[in-house]
A = this chain, B = another copy of it.
Amino acid sequence: MADTPTLPNLTVQQLEYMVAVAAAPTRAAAAARVGVTASALTQGLAELERRVGVPLFERHGRLTRLRPQAAEVLAHARRVVAETRDLARWAEARRTGAAGTVRLGTIDAVAIHHRAETVRSHRRAHPDLDLRLTVAPSGSLLDALQVGDLDLVVCVEPSDFIEGIDTILCLEEPLHAYAPDGAAGGPPEEWGPWVTYPTGSHTRGVIAAGLTVLGAPFEVVAESNQPDVLREMVRLGMGWSVLPEAQAEAGPEPLARVRRRPIGLRRLVVVRRSGAPPDPAVDGLANVLVSG
């Protein structure tokens, strides 16, 4: 009893030896299969036998075979080796990013237009990846990222530097001005009034700056975070708007631009927390999001 205070400290290596000798005709062959010398195999199996505490092998002529009672141990060995193989596969998938969890947050334009197909095909290529998508305005996304509720964000680049995050440029998106039917034509001084994103919105900041440069007044009569709502407001004649081309001109009845050149560019960036431990699953998704 004193020689087995706890559990026998078997190693996967030893169990592998056991499985190998059961499968191979000779020990030399088994040794070759697991890639060690016959000597190592002998010693390893002797150690296994010692730790189990029950005789497992016997010599028949110049072969040594398993004793019948070793069948129990062999079955155990097979189970553990198989499970360890599964574990190794799982670990490999985790290491390469083929499996894992990524909590992705994007603004609507990215999820619906720019990277919709990218996300879809990445998900298809990695069926074991647990991908959770949150769609929200840029500010909310960055807050969630900093708190640790998200792993990866695609949003409009914030105007102020933010501590603790790394950003990579993903794409630059032109913002065009759109007017209700029949209202276009005058100089910028006569444009408006406007329907646009709420105060605090990153995109609104870009729009305000662009209009100011052109000398257009920026009187806001309605707000929404949803570009399709803003588009319908323009169509209803409530006011003018500056919108991403992809969202203003999508659908059966696209709005018409007030002028050919954009009012401004909004920079969409891929963002991660600086301090976060490296995670191949996040890396992989970030890469495809950047490269498109």
Residues of A near any B CB (own CB < 8 A): 4-13, 16, 34-35, 52-55, 58, 68-69, 72-73, 76, 79-81, 83-88, 90-92, 94-95, 100-101, 277
Q: Are B11 and A10 in contact, with the CB atoms below 8 A?
A: yes
Q: Are B88 and A83 in contact, with the CB atoms below 8 A?
A: no
Given A7-B12, A34-B6, is A94 in contact with B80 using a C-beta cutoff of 8 Å? no
Given A58-B277, A83-B76, A87-B73, is A9 in contact with B11 using a C-beta cutoff of 8 Å? yes
Measured between beta carbons, the chain B residues less than 8 angstroms from A11 are 9-12
| Residue from B54, B72, B91, B101 in contact with A95 in the complex, judged by beta carbons closer than 8 Å | B54
Instruction: List 7 additional A-B contacts (Cβ < 8 Å) besides A68-B101, A80-B80.
Output: A7-B16, A8-B87, A9-B12, A9-B13, A53-B95, A69-B101, A76-B86
| Residue from B53, B54, B73, B84 in contact with A10 in the complex, judged by beta carbons closer than 8 Å | B84
**How far does the Cβ of A178 sit from chain B's closest Cβ, in whole Å?**
46
| Residue from B8, B87, B91 in contact with A84 in the complex, judged by beta carbons closer than 8 Å | B8
| Residue from B4, B8, B16, B52 in contact with A6 in the complex, judged by beta carbons closer than 8 Å | B16
Given A72-B87, A76-B83, A88-B4, is A55 in contact with B12 using a C-beta cutoff of 8 Å? no
| Residue from B5, B76, B91 in contact with A54 in the complex, judged by beta carbons closer than 8 Å | B91
Please report the C-alpha to C-alpha distance between residue A9 and residue B35 in the assembled complex, in whole angstroms. 14
Please report the C-alpha to C-alpha distance between residue A101 and residue B123 in the assembled complex, in whole angstroms. 56
Please report the C-alpha to C-alpha distance between residue A58 and residue B6 in the assembled complex, in whole angstroms. 28
User: What are 21 A-to-B residue pairs whose CB atoms are below 8 Å?
Assistant: A6-B16, A6-B34, A7-B13, A7-B16, A7-B81, A7-B85, A7-B88, A8-B91, A10-B84, A11-B12, A53-B92, A54-B95, A58-B277, A69-B100, A69-B101, A72-B87, A73-B87, A76-B84, A76-B86, A76-B87, A79-B83
